[in-house]
Amino acid sequence: MTLAHDLPDAATAVPAVDEDPAACRFRVHRSTMTSDRIYRRELERIFAHSWLYVGHESEVRNPGDYVRRPVGGRPVFMVRGAKSGQVHVFHNTCTHRGAVVCRKDAGNAKVFSCFYHAWTFDSEGRLIGVPDREAYGAGRDFSTLGLKSVARVASYRGFVFASFDADIVDLETYLAGAREYLDLVIDAADGEMEIIKGTNQYCINANWKLLVENSIDGYHAVSTHDTYFKYLLSLGTDLSTGVSGSATDLGNGHAVIEYQAPWGRPVAKWEPLFGEQAKKEIERLRQQLIARHGEERGRRIADTNRNLLIYPNLVVNDIMAVTVRTFMPLAPDRMDITAWEMAPRDELPQLRQRRLDSFLTFLGPGGFATPDDIEALESCQQGFSSGGVQWNDISRGMGRASQANDEKQMRAFWRRWQEQVGATVEEDER
């Protein structure tokens, strides 16, 4: 709720994202988190005009494999064509009368038949079956009534994106500096990464942009996740070195924090919590990465943690597990979240188990971290309704070289958000 008396006079109105470099001040008006008008504008100006993550090619490895999911709030499904071998992303709606065509979340199918009137389509999207076709007359051209592809579909190293904007820049241009960090994730397994079946799915009663901030926020870790750090200490993990790293603006709203952390990474850095059984294999993988990519890049892949935001709503956490997470607003104060675990193909069972355990015990909705984060974000949303305070401050680090616990990465997101949404405070008062 935005209170009219909390807003400045129209004569002194400012953008909802207000930056003053000379004063080392960056602030965001809280109406961005509560306004229904701004929420609708986000759907129109951000989610309809960005590249959005659909899934990973490993999820549709074989001809006819498919997954369905909402993307940008719209039902779509991704399928590998049986004849072409290409990955398609179709609008999940029958071209006859509109019913959903793909009705299961995942599987393998030669055809997709609309249950309403039994119009049938193949995995390439072609209309191949119409009951009583003769009723339409000999001159009707059914070739134009195949499934409709999303306007743009492209893949970067197995990550499949779609856009509803036919005129958007190509995917690699859009990804800008984020490409380097996706490369670091994929090169950890020499390009052979896969999404493990199964998802974490949950809702948060908070604005989606709060999760954007939280996902790339190193500042909250020690205070919010105290229980997890006590758990690590109980396992013998040395936390005396703390967390050190940097934040980077990657362009186009993308950003990353990259840091050294004492809890290790099961890709190639061993810590006590990974168990003695995995020690030799993890060290072998570490040396393999250094041999393959050179000392500097190999150690960077093996030893460095990354929380990567690909604007607007894809987060890749390359930490104690590689988690791919998307989130979609349902209202100004509610969002859906889906997360998948990514891992190298054909890795040893004990390492795969270690990843899955980390995926659940830290990053899962019932784990150490995610419930803490949900409580924090919902608490923020509740606090916004109190009024009295107009602005959130996101200025940390403006007076020094960026660190992983600063907010440079969040400012990168908010600048792009303001560029697309164009929100001003006096507009929200109306």
pTM, whole model, 2 decimals? 0.92
Residues 6+ apart with CB under 8 A from 36: 331, 332
Residue 112 β-bridge partners: 121
What digits encode the pLDDT tens for the residues 21-61?
A: 999 999 999 999 999 999 999 999 999 999 999 999 999 99
CB atoms within 10 A of CB 50: 24
Residue 351 sits at φ, ψ, to 5 deg, of -75, -40
The mean pLDDT of 191-211, rounded to a whole number, is 95
CA 68/CA 3 separation, integer angstroms: 40
H/E stretch holding 39 reads helix 36-42
Let me know whether 201 and 151 are in one domain.
Answer: no
Tokens of 333: 């104060």
What digits encode the pLDDT tens for the residues 110-155?
A: 999 999 999 999 999 999 999 999 898 888 899 999 999 999 999 9
Single out the residue in 145, 167, 189 at which a domain terminates: 167
Cβ-contact 222, 229 below 8 angstroms:
yes
Q: Is 426 a member of any domain?
A: no
Let me know whether 262 and 381 are in one domain.
Answer: yes
Single out the residue in 146, 167, 188 at which a domain terminates: 167
Q: Is 35 a member of any domain?
A: no
Domain span at 154: 52-167
Can you point out the beta strands (E) in 178-221? 193-195, 200-204
Check pLDDT > 60 for residue 7: no
Let me know whether 262 and 371 are in one domain.
Answer: yes
Residue 91 CA: distances (Å) to CA of 40, 72, 108, 401: 21, 12, 18, 45
Residues 6+ apart with CB under 8 A from 167: none
Provide the residue type at 241 as one letter. Answer: T
pLDDT on residue 211: 98
Q: What's the structural domain count of the chain?
A: 2
CA 240/CA 219 separation, integer angstroms: 17
Percentage of the chain surpassing pLDDT 70? 91
- State whether residue 397 is helix, strand or coil: coil
Please report, for the domain that includes residue 204, its CATH number. 3.90.380.10
Provide the residue type at 236 as one letter. Answer: G
Q: Where are the alpha helices (DSSP H) in 91-136?
A: none
Let me know whether 262 and 346 are in one domain.
Answer: yes
What digits encode the pLDDT tens for the residues 371-421?
A: 999 999 999 999 999 999 999 999 999 999 888 899 999 999 999 999 999
Let me know whether 250 and 157 are in one domain.
Answer: no
Residues 6+ apart with CB under 8 A from 20: 26
Q: Is 40 a member of any domain?
A: no
Let me know whether 300 and 190 are in one domain.
Answer: yes
CA 83/CA 63 separation, integer angstroms: 8
Let me know whether 67 and 196 are in one domain.
Answer: no
pLDDT on residue 428: 47
Q: Is 12 a member of any domain?
A: no
H/E stretch holding 52 reads strand 52-56
Q: Is 46 a member of any domain?
A: no
CA 2/CA 390 separation, integer angstroms: 9
CA 345/CA 355 separation, integer angstroms: 13
Q: Which residue's entry shows tokens 């990804």?
A: 175
